[in-house]
């Protein structure tokens, strides 16, 4: 599988850290799964789950174990990016979506591009 996003993040000093170092105090993290990033936090006593896990929201109906993720980023330590870096990141994201056949993401991007094209043609 392609890892263009990880390469771009590494180029700007935003490398993934091991899940064993992720905070378990309820702070939000960006966890990297094979299918992309998940915004989540550690819940030590989730209401709807059998035990502690990474969840996307409070009262989540599903959670994730450490082994689901490749690594994580601390959103509080993310650097401000200029337009060139954002463009590189967007291209890398699309390249990764194409490489892994992420149809859902590609449909969202296509729908957005089509909406922008329709708007431009109506001006």
State the 10-residue block means of pLDDT for the chain, 123 residues long: 77 87 94 88 91 90 91 84 87 88 84 70 61
Residue 15: predicted pLDDT: 83
Residue 55: predicted pLDDT: 94
- For the chain, the structural domain boundaries read 4-122
Q: How far apart are CA 85 and CA 3, in angstroms?
A: 16
Residue 118: predicted pLDDT: 62
Residues across the chain: 123
Which of 1, 2, 78, 7 is closest to 39 using CA atoms?
78
In the three-class reduction of DSSP (H, G, I as helix; E, B as strand; rest coil), residue 43 is classed as strand
Residue 1: predicted pLDDT: 45
Q: How far apart are CA 25 and CA 43, in angstroms?
A: 8
């Amino acid at each position: 599988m392609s890892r263009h996003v990880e390469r771009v993040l590494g180029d700007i000093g935003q490398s993934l850290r091991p899940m064993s170092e992720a905070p378990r105090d309820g702070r939000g993290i960006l966890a990297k799964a094979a299918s992309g990033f998940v915004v989540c936090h550690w819940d030590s006593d989730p209401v709807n789950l059998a035990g502690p896990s990474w969840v996307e929201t409070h009262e989540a109906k599903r959670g994730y174990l450490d082994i689901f993720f490749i690594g994580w980023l601390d959103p509080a330590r993310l650097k401000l990016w200029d337009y060139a870096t954002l463009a590189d990141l967007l291209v890398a994201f699309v390249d990764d979506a194409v490489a892994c056949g992420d149809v859902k993401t590609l449909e969202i991007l296509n729908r957005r591009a089509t909406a922008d094209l329709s708007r431009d043609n109506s001006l």
